[in-house]
Structure 1
């Protein structure tokens, strides 16, 4: 049997690619062909789909996006704007060949580095960054079981949200979501992504994405853009204004999403990535989720050390404090230009 590694494009490639993603137990929603399409449609980035074939059959894949900016240089990433990525292959020998191809590609393109966002360590001896964890938990059979599985203190907070008689909707309402999300990330000192990114995610994942919005009376207080993949529910981009705290809006929202996922037959609630010892990290632990380390690995080409784009970087922290105090209209205007390199 002969192994061929190539870069692919087009309708047929998309069908083959997604068929492999659907069948492989180690793939994620970020490996789907449409993720690259959404990124390219939003930012115009170069996106590279690497496929390994054995006697014509797909036996491994690696999606790579290329980003260029004055702030953070020129680099390849698997995958941009996703929290999971990396090689998906039938066996380690095939994965090794794909990895060799990707490293040679990074060298030939003379990028600064190749970043691979693995869920688990690859086993390759290269620099890595271990500041991120992810939170996943099985969804139990009934809503009552899921509510009782939430630790007592957090369950009490959820019940407070329920008693506030909040309501929710499931829609594709990007405008309402964006108003709430952009305020939330500004308050954290983070540049907001382009509204077009969210529009494109909903467009390229029409059956596998939606927005849940929570209302206090008729006022929207928080919202989350959710992705669906196989038997998993991923509340991916979420946030709300200060008013969400007073009515426990976020607690109510994530409970209603978990309840919805249970009744719809989903099996895994993926609470997503957080930095260790941050507010988001503590919030997810309070729900009874246990952190699992993520392994982000780097093949350095032009750079001599791992880039640090994290808000925990002492050089970035002062900028975060300034950003928090800026008017929302201003951060919404310039944020998308800054954040395109942060994905």
Structure 2
């Protein structure tokens, strides 16, 4: 079999997206996310397509380069998002893409390549060291019933009471797009500051809403016309994911989070979605309990790394003690200052 690897261009875009859809790849592998990330962050991306002798795409691997003095120089598939990595029809096409990616890593002087896979790479793929794989991440998936009443009964009386609590405070729920972006960002940015995490730019979310159109939308909870809870929803076929969500902690005593998620789940069922994806968590994260109470089940994720020989796996995350001082300092910043400098920092964190 003769295979070649090319970088995505305008001529390959239609075939790329058709390949992803036909092979049931995550929506994050679609070419529109290349435009989102380049438009919002200015990162250089390398979308690799493997072609057979008939010039048909038989594998894809999107890579984004992030380079900074603080966090280093590396390639990720795909940063900022939960899923990415390889999508191929054979081990041969996987090997061709991985060989190209490793050569690209060396050419660009990158420390590593990170592949955020939903499933394990076949053990027969040669250009991957299966010891260089993190399995501390999981995603929580909920199979949705056809009617919301079935889920309402399944969650039990305790959770139903928690959902009803904010209603007594006048809680209201809205779903929309760009017209709700300011309200979403107000809640999201405040919560990120409270957590000690640099916030994404408003432009990033605007890019997603504009480029994904009907497949990305916002959910907002209001109390007395004040936005107090928010979720960003992304749809791919029959699956709806909530990659970003926040609440204003001043209103947490009312159980805003429970009301927000119930209304989102109810909406997803009304939209005939089959699977609700609560997003990834670390296995030891407190958020796992929250997601399990809705009936979600845990699914293993696999983050593979292409590394120089004998190099340790990278640790660019909150557990790294190097970042604890930054986190504690960030929590003390005024929200306006955090919103100003946060996007400049977070663009280099995968």
118-127 or 259-268: bigger deviation: 118-127
The answer on 1:184 being equivalent to 2:191 is yes
CA contact (8 A) 1:151 1:286 kept: no
CA contact (8 A) 1:178 1:195 kept: yes
What corresponds to 1:224 in structure 2?
231
The partner residue of 1:34 within 15, 32, 35 is 32
Q: Counterpart of 2:312 in 1: which secondary structure? A: coil
What corresponds to 2:8 in structure 1?
8
CA contact (8 A) 1:75 1:113 kept: yes
Distance in 2 (alpha carbons) for counterparts of 1:95 and 1:317: 37
After TM superposition, the structure 1 = structure 2 runs for residues 68-83 of structure 1, keeping only pairs within 5 Å, are 68-83=67-82
Distance in 2 (alpha carbons) for counterparts of 1:165 and 1:147: 20
CA contact (8 A) 2:143 2:296 kept: no
Distance in 2 (alpha carbons) for counterparts of 1:149 and 1:24: 33
Deviation track 1:286-343 (CA, whole Å, cap 9, x = no partner) reads: 3222222211111114993222121122232232222212211121111111111113
Deviation track 1:10-36 (CA, whole Å, cap 9, x = no partner) reads: 2x32211111111112x1121011111
What corresponds to 2:173 in structure 1?
168
The answer on 1:246 being equivalent to 2:244 is no
Q: Counterpart of 1:206 in 2: which secondary structure? A: helix
What corresponds to 1:66 in structure 2?
65
Distance in 2 (alpha carbons) for counterparts of 1:162 and 1:131: 37
> TM-score if structure 1 supplies the norm length?
0.94
Distance in 2 (alpha carbons) for counterparts of 1:278 and 1:216: 29
Deviation track 1:122-163 (CA, whole Å, cap 9, x = no partner) reads: 243242223321111111110011222325543432232345
Q: CA deviation at 1:281?
A: 2.4
After TM superposition, the structure 1 = structure 2 runs for residues 10-25 of structure 1, keeping only pairs within 5 Å, are 10=10, 12-25=11-24
Distance in 2 (alpha carbons) for counterparts of 1:156 and 1:210: 27
CA contact (8 A) 2:73 2:111 kept: yes
The partner residue of 2:142 within 133, 137, 141 is 137
The partner residue of 1:51 within 24, 49, 52 is 49
CA contact (8 A) 2:81 2:243 kept: no
Q: Counterpart of 2:296 in 1: which secondary structure? A: coil
Q: CA deviation at 1:164?
A: 4.1
Q: CA deviation at 1:211?
A: 0.7
Q: Counterpart of 1:271 in 2: which secondary structure? A: strand
Residues 181 and 108 of structure 1, relative CA distance in 2, 3 Å threshold:
same
What corresponds to 1:259 in structure 2?
266
What corresponds to 2:338 in structure 1?
331
Distance in 2 (alpha carbons) for counterparts of 1:87 and 1:237: 24
After TM superposition, the structure 1 = structure 2 runs for residues 165-314 of structure 1, keeping only pairs within 5 Å, are 165-172=170-177, 173-301=180-308, 304-314=311-321
The answer on 1:95 being equivalent to 2:110 is no
Gaps of 5+ in 2: none
Distance in 2 (alpha carbons) for counterparts of 1:276 and 1:71: 27
> TM-score if structure 2 supplies the norm length?
0.92
Distance in 1 (alpha carbons) for counterparts of 2:66 and 2:156: 41
Distance in 2 (alpha carbons) for counterparts of 1:297 and 1:335: 28
Distance in 1 (alpha carbons) for counterparts of 2:276 and 2:164: 20
Distance in 1 (alpha carbons) for counterparts of 2:159 and 2:317: 28
104-113 or 186-195: bigger deviation: 104-113
273-282 or 173-182: bigger deviation: 273-282
After TM superposition, the structure 1 = structure 2 runs for residues 118-133 of structure 1, keeping only pairs within 5 Å, are 118-122=117-121, 123=123, 124-125=128-129, 126-133=131-138
Distance in 1 (alpha carbons) for counterparts of 2:22 and 2:165: 42
Distance in 2 (alpha carbons) for counterparts of 1:244 and 1:211: 19
Distance in 2 (alpha carbons) for counterparts of 1:70 and 1:15: 37
CA contact (8 A) 1:130 1:293 kept: yes
CA contact (8 A) 1:112 1:303 kept: no
